[in-house]
Structure 1
Amino acid sequence: MMETDSSFAQETMKVLGRDWIYLIDSGGQPQFHNLLPHFIEGLSTILIVIRLSEKLDNSPTVEYYENGASTGSHQSPLSIIDTLKCLIRSLQSYKISDQKSKLVFIGTFYDQITDTDSLTEKNQQLYDLFSEECLDQLVFRNSAKNELIFPINGKLPCEPEKEIARQIRSLIESIPAQFESEIPSRWNMLEVFMEYTSTCLQRKVLSRAECLELAQKLKFKISDSEDELTNALRHFHNMHLLHYYPQILPDVVFTSPQVILDEITALVKEVYRVRDSSGATIVVDYQLRRGIITTASLSKFQRHIVEGIFGPTELQKLFIGLLIVTPISSSQDKNDHSNKKFFMPALLHMIPSADLEMYRVFEPIQPLLISFESGLPRSGVFCCLQVYLMKELKWKLVYTNTEPKIIAQNCVMLAHPREPCTITIIDSFSYIEAYVSSKPENYRRVLPLIRESILDGIKAANQALQYTCHDEDQPRLTFFCPCNQEVSANPPQRHIGKVKEGNEIQCSVQQQSYFDLNEKYTKWLGPVISGKLLQALFSRENTCGIYMKQYSMQDLSGKILVVLLELSHPTSIAFMQVILLPIRTMASVCIKFWRDGSGLVKLQ
């Protein structure tokens, strides 16, 4: 480790101001919207660049470049409008507590616009995307005319472009600081020294040992009872100055947030790579296009690898810990430990909204919808949900021959590991839909179990993404309104209802209309009956004439003890009550009971 340059530190401290502005560049494809929330929190301003020469209803061609040369392209399955819906969801996801991100639209290729009506139409289309609650997050060029787009000619900027740049800069400078906190001056010096060390070493990844050496020179308190270095690194992480994940990679410090963003960008580009930077055709990695990454595929990205500190193994650990990937294996992979496989839903394509209809099945059971009081599901939650169900609950992809039957960023078909059913989950931007296919006699038992599994997955996803969930962000169970009135016909746009007490649902279009829910809906709302009776352990009659049977049940939380009590009456009327007692190991359980006047058993 080199000696820190005190003169450099002194000069740096002279220009350290109270307010800092950090700029982060990322891609606009849907893959990024599902991954960025893991690594970018609390953005004060989001600048969205759109091409004015294209219609917003068009599906654009996405081109990837490396060193100025095209390496691949693909036709986006989403229209520009659908992509912007992803961005709106990102806008909602990035807020810090009550402070909302501002959204600025910049339109390029203004010189190719020949019809002013075209710009007016685009402004109106963008304005119509937002609800009343979101309008205060928009930055208007002209609020009286609902003009959102700041049009520029980026290739030949003239005075109008310079004036727009000044307006945007003034806007950013006027936004209140998001982070105001008093910290020891040595913490500021540590951040400066880490930046300086990274520059000298020509890498943006340091080991914790290297950071510790710097901290010791600054007289940090490092002891068994107090670890000031870890506290400082966590503070810098929360301020987005760097990335530090002590629970996952305790010995790795990313001194620039751009490190992981570069790795994500490289992965997304690799999915669609068909030629190298020289223009030569290469072998397409179809595994990546199916969302499967391997140790070998991660080893291709050498830009930020630091031998002994950060490499493909550490990147795998980080992705697993943040619910970005789940390990997968097949029979042929069991003997190959050097090239592990992982499923990464965020790399998959998205199914266009109109095409999702073919995966919706409304008989014999209606789908469960999970909506959110605050609006759209947050970015990244659906991909994390897929990973959680597969990684933690062992749900499996459903295959046809050797290919997954349904697999996309916004739609997947999974099979339950113990119950005879398949589950299709759809992210339709406004809510999450769950469709289940099983035998009729299984629905009453299976549906509540799937409901709770999905809710647990959403909770785990919010934790992995470090989203702060207030009451309005909690998931709400509902259904499509039984009135079957479509808000729009192409593609079909149904509306949801609001479930009320007494198995009623209120129509969201005709507020005065209420409908009774039948079993196609209510089976979703029943109690959870976990597992199956596997083995009768014993049967005996105690002194009160009660036959007791004890069974073992397997659940995700451990073993469940089920006690069946049957009371014998002279009139041969049987009484049975089932009690579920969660326990970690099978053990004897004492239950006190007595008879009341009706002859029924009371439990204590």
Structure 2
Amino acid sequence: MYRIDGQYFPCHSKSSQLAFFQSAVSTGASFKPLDISCISKKPTHSMHLVLGTHYDKVSDATLKEKEEILKSSMSSLQSYLKNCVIHHKKSIMYPVNTIAASEERAKYSEEICKAIWCHGSDASLEIKIPIRWFAFELSLPEQSIVLVKDALSIGERYGMNEEDTKQALRYFHNVSLMLYYPKVTNVIFIDSKPILEILSQLLALTYIDDYDALASILDKRLPLEVTNNLEDGIFNENIFEHLKSKSVVFSLPEFQMSDLIRLLLHLNIITKLEDEPKGHYFIPYALPSYNEPVSIKETNAKPLLIVWREEESEEILPAPTGLFPLTIVNLLNQKEYVAKISPSTPGYFKFRDAMSLKITITSKHTLHLINRYTHIEVYFTGPTQHCPLVRNLLKTAIDNSSDAMHLKHNYVNAFACPNNESCYCIINEDHHKVADCTVCGESPALSNDYWTWFNDAQGRDECNNGTQIKHDNDQPSDENILDKMPQLNDLVRLFDSYAAQFKLIGIALSVRVDDLLPCPEVTTNNLMQVFQRWIRRDKDVTWRTILRVCQDYPDHLGKAEAEVKQFLSSPTAHSLYDPLPDESKSTTRAHDHCFKFFPSKSHAFVFIASLILVLVAILILYLC
């Protein structure tokens, strides 16, 4: 159902409400821990609230049946988890009439907030911020969109200079109290509803065909050609002029249609098209899902699978909701190789969850990506020697998309097990041509048409090209450690006494520090975040870099340099970072050692979880 102004209209989806719910909830297992400063009390556990969104439409008998099913499924939960579920009186479901009028819906929202507040103390977090920030936030106008210059004026009332106010705005953005994107717009979204509303109405044009429903969305009718193009994911900016929500979104002269387009491009919600007669922009979220089974003809390389799993238990998780379309946009936006949308012809896919891209390496080839929901399936029709390059392009796109949605990088490469349909052959990154099955007792022998995806890291096989490495027998053993990646716990332990220098260290490591508050009680937490961001950035993350930072600032970190060197010379450091016996490092013949090349990663940290999850929410709420 699609709801507009208290009325609801039918729309069609291949997924049930339960399937959407399960997909959205399972995505929560992939979220990163909160990366914000000034937390004085962390949550002890998560919290769950089950909303009976069609509560008003079911009979008492059906309601009782659903209640018993829920209680049965939760009976196996540990006791502390059972206490994390909010009850409505004696019911496990909290009733909400989602098609109620605005006033009644506001009442429901208030009741839900009270329930969460009363029962969620252990699942909440507390932050300690300067009192002037708190007063500043309370003084912002009660309107959806505020000019940055007006916010700066309010900050001046509380003795905050321009940088102080901008730091406060960045912090409130990071904790989701507002949306603040200074690189692309001069306004702040105190309430994100106008952005959500206009995106919702844009997508609704592709889901509904009821005349009354369209009349509730549109100020003036759209030509059929424009609607058809949008269903193909393509549009021009003037489509927003037809939507009723434009009056709120474009209420300020400083934020107009071009600003909205620039914001959506910045967030990788849309991408710009070149030489496309149908329109200037592409939004994959507007595409339909595939309803018929999709399959690919045999290619020279077996399909690569991208699989998500829980880090500790290694339980297989569904592909995170909303990640697939964002990954497509990131692939189209990457600059290394030209990638374009394939034509809407047989043999190619153009769906929200299955996409064919034309990618030019030495010549044009096709990359097929299919979201099977349990995993993403990857096919490449070009020469097999390009498969490693394609894999690395895809990895960068998924990494960037994961960072944007604030997701962990908890995915692995895999193949479909040839012996068991319910089993994955997970690639063992530590051993050449080894795949560990998730179900089968033994790892299968996989042919070369599987391993062609990994020919850039072939280990011993690379000896055939004659490349050699000679290890100098006179090289001090400490030197072997300098190019190893430090572990976070070692970095924090060694630099804890110098935590007050977290900004200096962060600037030297080229990571963002302007959102970290200079509160004495959280300097260690800030230092930890600096090192976490540096490690995630994955550029020159070595002990050698750490020593160079200390040497660049001897007045502040001179003693730290001596302590780091002492640690690197210790048996503990050698056991952790250089466990090979000394004799294995001596000079050997050329055929005993070979050169390995591992491509570096390139991460673009663009935090857009709020709007990506909004698009997911639109699908969940309006397609059910």
Q: What secondary structure, in the 3-state scheme, does the structure 2 residue paired with 1:253 have?
A: strand
The answer to whether the 8 Å contact 1:73/1:272 transfers is: no
Equivalence map 1:465-504=2 (5 Å): 465=405, 467=406, 469=408, 473-483=409-419, 485-486=420-421, 494-500=422-428, 501-504=431-434
Is 1:506 aligned to residue 436 of structure 2?
yes
Counterpart of 1:413 (choices 353, 356, 367) is: 356
Find the counterpart in structure 2 of residue 433 from structure 1. 377
The answer to whether the 8 Å contact 2:371/2:377 transfers is: yes
Find the counterpart in structure 1 of residue 559 from structure 2. none
Is 1:211 aligned to residue 151 of structure 2?
yes
Cα shift at 1:522: 0.5
Equivalence map 1:168-179=2 (5 Å): 169-176=114-121, 178-179=124-125
Cα shift at 1:84: 2.2
Tell me the amino acid that sits aligned with residue 346 of structure 1: Y
Cα shift readout 1:60-114 (whole Å, capped 9, x = no counterpart): xx2342x4456x6421222233222332244335664495643322335557645
Is 1:107 aligned to residue 52 of structure 2?
yes
Q: What secondary structure, in the 3-state scheme, does the structure 1 residue paired with 2:146 have?
A: strand
Paired with 2:442 and 2:67, the residues of 1 have a C-alpha distance of 36
The answer to whether the 8 Å contact 2:369/2:376 transfers is: yes
262-271 vs 106-115, greater mean Cα deviation: 106-115
Find the counterpart in structure 2 of residue 350 from structure 1. 289
Paired with 2:161 and 2:393, the residues of 1 have a C-alpha distance of 44
Tell me the amino acid that sits aligned with residue 323 of structure 1: N
Larger Rg: 1
User: Structure 2 stretches of 5 or more lacking a match?
Assistant: 35-41, 101-106, 311-316, 459-593, 600-624
User: Structure 1 stretches of 5 or more lacking a match?
Assistant: 1-61, 157-161, 334-339, 487-493, 530-576, 583-604
Cα shift readout 1:426-455 (whole Å, capped 9, x = no counterpart): 1222222101223xxx11x11111100000
Find the counterpart in structure 1 of residue 576 from structure 2. none
The answer to whether the 8 Å contact 2:301/2:450 transfers is: yes
The answer to whether the 8 Å contact 1:382/1:427 transfers is: yes
> Aligned pair in 2 of structure 1 residues 278, 578: CA closer, same or farther (>3 Å)?
closer
Q: What secondary structure, in the 3-state scheme, does the structure 2 residue paired with 1:246 have?
A: coil
Paired with 2:319 and 2:262, the residues of 1 have a C-alpha distance of 26
> Aligned pair in 2 of structure 1 residues 281, 468: CA closer, same or farther (>3 Å)?
closer
Find the counterpart in structure 1 of residue 342 from structure 2. 398
Cα shift readout 1:185-227 (whole Å, capped 9, x = no counterpart): 22122212213xxx4xxx42122111112222222123xxxx1
Find the counterpart in structure 2 of residue 326 from structure 1. 271
Is 1:306 aligned to residue 235 of structure 2?
no
Give the number of the structure whose residues are more often strand, by fraction.
1
The answer to whether the 8 Å contact 1:91/1:101 transfers is: no
Equivalence map 1:148-159=2 (5 Å): 149-150=93-94
> Aligned pair in 2 of structure 1 residues 207, 96: CA closer, same or farther (>3 Å)?
same
Q: What secondary structure, in the 3-state scheme, does the structure 1 residue paired with 2:215 have?
A: coil
Paired with 2:31 and 2:247, the residues of 1 have a C-alpha distance of 30
Paired with 1:362 and 1:132, the residues of 2 have a C-alpha distance of 45
* Count of matched residue positions in the alignment of Structure 1 and Structure 2: 427
Give the number of the structure whose residues are more often helix, by fraction.
2
> Aligned pair in 2 of structure 1 residues 133, 436: CA closer, same or farther (>3 Å)?
farther
Paired with 2:63 and 2:112, the residues of 1 have a C-alpha distance of 23
Find the counterpart in structure 2 of residue 519 from structure 1. 448
> Aligned pair in 2 of structure 1 residues 134, 263: CA closer, same or farther (>3 Å)?
farther
Question: What TM-score do you get using the length of structure 1 for normalisation?
Answer: 0.61
Paired with 2:388 and 2:75, the residues of 1 have a C-alpha distance of 34
Question: What TM-score do you get using the length of structure 2 for normalisation?
Answer: 0.59
Find the counterpart in structure 2 of residue 231 from structure 1. 167
> Aligned pair in 2 of structure 1 residues 344, 229: CA closer, same or farther (>3 Å)?
same
Cα shift readout 1:107-162 (whole Å, capped 9, x = no counterpart): 355576458477536864898799989994996579xx9x9545678899xxxxx9
Is 1:277 aligned to residue 202 of structure 2?
no
The answer to whether the 8 Å contact 1:259/1:304 transfers is: yes
> Aligned pair in 2 of structure 1 residues 270, 155: CA closer, same or farther (>3 Å)?
closer
Equivalence map 1:128-277=2 (5 Å): 136=81, 140=85, 149-150=93-94, 169-176=114-121, 178-195=124-141, 199=142, 203-222=143-162, 227-249=163-185, 251-274=186-209, 275=211, 276-277=214-215
Tell me the amino acid that sits aligned with residue 154 of structure 2: L
The answer to whether the 8 Å contact 2:48/2:86 transfers is: no
The answer to whether the 8 Å contact 1:507/1:514 transfers is: yes
> Aligned pair in 2 of structure 1 residues 108, 248: CA closer, same or farther (>3 Å)?
closer
Tell me the amino acid that sits aligned with residue 262 of structure 2: K
Cα shift at 1:413: 0.7
The answer to whether the 8 Å contact 2:31/2:407 transfers is: no
Tell me the amino acid that sits aligned with residue 496 of structure 1: Y
CA RMSD of superposed structures (Å)? 4.2
Tell me the amino acid that sits aligned with residue 268 of structure 1: L
Q: What secondary structure, in the 3-state scheme, does the structure 2 residue paired with 1:424 have?
A: strand
Cα shift at 1:350: 1.9
Tell me the amino acid that sits aligned with residue 497 of structure 1: C
Cα shift at 1:278: 7.1
Counterpart of 1:288 (choices 215, 220, 230) is: 230
The answer to whether the 8 Å contact 1:93/1:378 transfers is: yes
Cα shift at 1:314: 1.2
Cα shift at 1:306: 3.3
Cα shift at 1:231: 0.3
Q: What secondary structure, in the 3-state scheme, does the structure 1 residue paired with 2:166 have?
A: helix
Counterpart of 2:403 (choices 456, 459, 463) is: 463
Is 1:92 aligned to residue 43 of structure 2?
no
The answer to whether the 8 Å contact 1:242/1:255 transfers is: yes
The answer to whether the 8 Å contact 2:414/2:424 transfers is: yes
Paired with 2:157 and 2:113, the residues of 1 have a C-alpha distance of 41
**Higher relative contact order, chain-length normalized (CA < 8 Å, sep 6+):** 2
Paired with 2:67 and 2:448, the residues of 1 have a C-alpha distance of 45
The answer to whether the 8 Å contact 1:92/1:378 transfers is: no
Find the counterpart in structure 2 of residue 450 from structure 1. 390
